[in-house]
């Protein structure tokens, strides 16, 4: 039984064949999926989908690359309303992204400040609603951890698609946060990620596809889908010298405890 903790089922890339994608996931023993939203509209789309799929839960939030879709304060109330939905299991995907250029009309410094405001408002909301958070980082590690760590007593975060060293992760893991691995860990040269996957204790990491992106070997370069989390589990098991059953069971247990609403 595998658990894909990060799969963008609301991506337009799945609009044409989502039922077949979900069928293939179930056939590959992927028994649970968390679909993170990227903005308010995407969150609504995912909640409508999840109502009919017992193995799908949703994280609602504004992705840093879509932070320009919100301004002022009213959006926080909209997000609070969406977060009350029984299918919501976390706030996400939220974070900071300094890799992509600012959208039209934003100077770099203003864009970074706006992303930080949108992130902080969502961390406050998550803490208030007692929900954990799914965190996105792209070339923003220091600023992101500086904003998240002060919330450590009130919520837990998963640093999704983690590609750093174990030493980088350790202070976060010590505060109760998690990391999760995508298909990158299965690539031919995963670099120091291989060491991270070996070193991280069971109970402190999860698995994900980040579909439709980052397909693991042997699907690299194709559209990724939740069924492939099984390939990532096999890669992690190989690195750790554990059975795939052990990795699947450990990461499923960790995810069930992290996300609300699953027992
Ligand atoms: Zn994502």
**Domain presence at residue 94:** yes
Q: Pick the range with the lowest mean pLDDT from 51-55, 157-161, 170-174, 185-189.
A: 185-189
CA 181 / ligand 1 centre spacing (Å): 12
Mean per-residue pLDDT over the chain, rounded: 96
Question: What is the CA 129 to chain-centroid distance, rounded?
Answer: 19
Q: Above 80 in pLDDT, residue 263? A: no
* SS3 assignment, position 9: coil
CA 85 / ligand 1 centre spacing (Å): 21
The predicted-structure confidence for 119-135, as pLDDT tens digits, reads as follows 999 999 999 999 999 99
CA 160 / ligand 1 centre spacing (Å): 8
**Domain presence at residue 65:** yes
Looking at residues 218-231, what average pLDDT do you find? 93
Q: Above 80 in pLDDT, residue 166? A: yes
**Domain presence at residue 19:** yes
Range of the domain at 62: 2-258
CA 100 / ligand 1 centre spacing (Å): 14
Q: Which residues surround ligand 1, an ion (CB under 5 A)?
A: 93
CA 178 / ligand 1 centre spacing (Å): 16
Q: Above 70 in pLDDT, residue 154? A: yes
R_g (Cα) of the chain, nearest Å: 17
CA 36 / ligand 1 centre spacing (Å): 7
Q: Above 90 in pLDDT, residue 219? A: no
**Domain presence at residue 188:** yes
**Domain presence at residue 49:** yes
Q: HSE of 170 in the Cβ direction (CA atoms, 13 Å)?
A: 6
**Domain presence at residue 263:** no
**Residue 213 to residues 8, 146, 156, 260: CA-CA distances in angstroms?**
9, 27, 25, 25
Q: At what angle do helices 244-258 and 229-240 cross, to 10 degrees?
A: 110
**Domain presence at residue 114:** yes
Q: Above 80 in pLDDT, residue 158? A: yes
Q: Above 90 in pLDDT, residue 191? A: no
* pLDDT given for residue 192 in this prediction: 85
**Domain presence at residue 153:** yes
Looking at residues 59-71, what average pLDDT do you find? 97
Q: First-to-last CA distance in the chain?
A: 14
Q: Could you give phi then psi for residue 97, rounded to 5 degrees?
A: -140, 105
- What CATH number has the domain bearing residue 172? 3.20.20.140
Domain count, the chain: 1
CA 157 / ligand 1 centre spacing (Å): 14
CA 93 / ligand 1 centre spacing (Å): 6
Residue 202 pLDDT class (50, 70, 90 cuts): very high
Sign of CA dihedral 70, 131, 90, 181: positive
CA 79 / ligand 1 centre spacing (Å): 18
Residue 12 pLDDT class (50, 70, 90 cuts): very high
Determine whether 164 is exposed, middle or buried from the number of CB atoms within 10 Å of its CB (0-12, 13-18, 19+): middle
């Amino acid at each position: 039984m595998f658990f894909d903790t990060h799969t963008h089922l609301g991506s337009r890339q799945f609009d044409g064949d989502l039922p077949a994608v979900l069928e293939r996931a179930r056939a590959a023993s992927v028994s649970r999926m968390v679909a993170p939203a990227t903005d308010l509209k995407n969150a609504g789309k995912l909640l409508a989908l999840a109502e009919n799929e017992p193995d799908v839960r949703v994280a609602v939030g504004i992705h840093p690359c879509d932070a320009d879709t919100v301004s002022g304060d009213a959006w926080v109330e909209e997000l609070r309303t969406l977060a009350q939905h029984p299918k919501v299991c976390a706030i996400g995907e939220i974070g900071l992204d300094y890799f992509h250029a600012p959208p039209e009309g934003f100077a770099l410094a203003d864009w970074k400040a706006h992303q930080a405001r949108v992130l902080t408002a969502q961390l406050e909301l998550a803490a208030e609603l007692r929900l954990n958070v799914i965190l996105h980082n792209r070339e923003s590690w220091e600023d992101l951890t500086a904003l998240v760590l002060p919330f450590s007593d009130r919520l837990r975060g998963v640093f999704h698609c983690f590609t750093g060293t174990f030493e980088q992760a350790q202070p976060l893991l010590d505060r109760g946060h998690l990391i999760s691995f995508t298909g990158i860990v299965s690539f031919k040269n995963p670099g120091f990620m291989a060491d991270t996957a070996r070193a991280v204790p069971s109970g402190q990491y999860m698995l994900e596809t980040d579909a439709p992106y980052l397909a693991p070997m042997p699907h690299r370069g194709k559209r990724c889908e939740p069924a492939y989390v099984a390939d990532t589990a096999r890669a992690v098991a190989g690195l750790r010298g554990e059975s795939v059953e052990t990795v699947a069971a450990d990461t499923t247990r960790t995810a069930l405890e992290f996300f609300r609403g699953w027992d």
